[in-house]
Amino acid sequence: MQADYVIVGAGSAGCAMAYRLSEAGRSVIVIEHGGTDAGPLIQMPAALSYPMNMTRYDWGYMTEPEPHLGGRRLVAPRGKVIGGSSSINGMVYVRGHARDFDHWRDSGAEGWGYADILPYYKRMESWDDGGHGGDPAWRGTDGPMHVSRGPRKNPLFHAFVEAGRQAGYPVTPDYNGEQQEGFGAFEQTVHKGRRWSAANAYLKPALKRENCTIVRGLAEKIVIKDGRATGVQLKRGGKSEVIGARAEVIIAASAFNSPKLLMLSGIGPAAHLAEHGIDVVADRQGVGQNLQDHLEMYIQYASKLPITLYKHWNLFSKALIGAQWLFTKTGLGASNNFESCAFIRSQAGVEYPDIQYHFLPIAVRYDGKTAAEGHGFQAHTGPMRSTSRGAVTLKSADPSEAPRILFNYMSQEKDWEDFRRCIRLTREIFAQEAFAPYVKHEIQPGAGAQSDDELNDVIREHAESAYHPCGTCKMGRMDDAMAVVDPHCRVIGVEGLRVADSSIFPRITNGNLNGPSVMTGEKASDHILGRAPLAAANEAPWVNPDWKTQQR
């Protein structure tokens, strides 16, 4: 078997590249270890906590004991299914702030500034504001990736935005448009009541073309001859075989599996590869390093009124919601129920938002466990730009073994200051008049936790990953010793090999990573095809003019 391009990983970026490369007439084989995404647990937006916790759809990775979180091992889900993590994620759509991408450009990812990437966001989107406002000039209208807003019928969604306004923050009509900073409606990758994963948006249409096929199996290593990638060694049905790439091999296997596959193929820190008896093809110190994530906590409150989603947290109600969704694709099942959000700056002197809020009208954890109090609501929050860095390394040279993942969360003193500030700013928002009819008492952290030490204890015990791993195959200048790929996504030191997924982000963006990952696949496609990039945008994003002196 061979094709012009072999893509490893049918995730957010891989699906977008399969679509664009096959659209251009090139032959494409996509390698994916996971299976089908058919069935209501993936396709029904409200069922999001199920696939994330199912071994059938998830690689099932865990971190090493995190030294600054009391030695806890955290779950680190990644999608093992068509669509990758876009098939098991929370469907939240955030482009990231303009300054995030300007930082990429300034740190060596030439051509990835906001003006360069905005046209790709427009190309990929089909945006539906649902009549809630926002400026269409900043958005795309006919791309494969449908983005919509939830119905926001629950009064708590409006209370959250109003509380933000009362606390002195701006309200933004579209955080993915001109002004990210402020409170407003959340956007989701949901279309006609279904999860609009990268598989639904890109891969399934691509597979209808004769020049695009998918092969199931575990990628064991990249085959490299005379310094050039020529194919992928794949294990399926208990046997290893090689799928040949006439033009290039493209790795889009996640922030965990992309560096793992590079290292198994002899590309990585030479001393680490030698420990595992792997012959060095290219000594790249940055492979697996620079691992980043968002850590967050659920700030939970008990509700005075029985208006939260808790009233549906029983088998009978879930069955009714499921039935309504199955037959009509409407109702509570048709939203991820993250329908209001905020992006704020933690203090004066911070140029653009470094705190994000996901608001949810129920007090519940990602694993589906509700708060003992019953009716409640919560905001997920945490610092967006932690300076802590971790690493993905090999446990062994066996491709079937999970990589070793250590985020090294909260390893910087500033992380603790920032996290405590997040909690205190959140409490202030929930103390506003808009929440007076609803707030009964604080569940988590709990009113007893006030001092720095008390809050630190709560963070150490309860902080969770937001599941936004990235950065392990950093994009940068050719002369940057820690860069793994150049700004055209080419692996430095090997011909015919690229990496394009969230692993190439030089620094984490200040929001959820599905949007930037799909955009990366879109932009990488033009580099792979040798096309001139889309013309740079002229739009000037809003930055608070008083950011140097005011927090809001």
Give every CB contact of residue 122 below 8 A, 6+ residues apart in sequence.
139, 140, 143
The number of helices, as runs of H, and strands, as runs of E, in the chain is 13, 25
Round to whole Å and give the CA distance between 7 and 18. 7
Give every CB contact of residue 407 below 8 A, 6+ residues apart in sequence.
63, 66, 74, 291, 292, 293, 388, 390, 465, 469
Virtual torsion, Cα 151, 157, 162, 168, nearest 10 deg: -110
**Buried-exposed string 151-168: b where 16+ CB fall within 10 A, e elsewhere:** ebebebbebbbbbbeebe
Can you point out the beta strands (E) in 152-278? 182-185, 187-188, 190-191, 194-195, 212-216, 218-225, 228-236, 239-251, 267-268
Q: Is 91 annotated as belonging to a binding site?
A: yes
**The two structure tokens encoding residue 385:** 């730009």
- C-beta neighbour count of 545 within 10 angstroms: 8
**The two structure tokens encoding residue 374:** 């019953």
Active-site positions?
468
Q: Is 90 annotated as belonging to a binding site?
A: yes
Round to whole Å and give the CA distance between 246 and 230. 7
3-state helix, strand, coil in the chain (%, to 5): 30, 25, 45
Round to whole Å and give the CA distance between 338 and 456. 27
Give every CB contact of residue 42 below 8 A, 6+ residues apart in sequence.
51, 57, 81, 83, 87, 88, 195, 197
- Encoded amino acid at 283, one letter: D
- Encoded amino acid at 428, one letter: E
My answer on whether omega of the bond before 506 falls inside 30° of 0, hence cis, is no
Nearest to 332, CA basis, from 376, 362, 368: 362
The binding site for FAD comprises: 81, 89-92
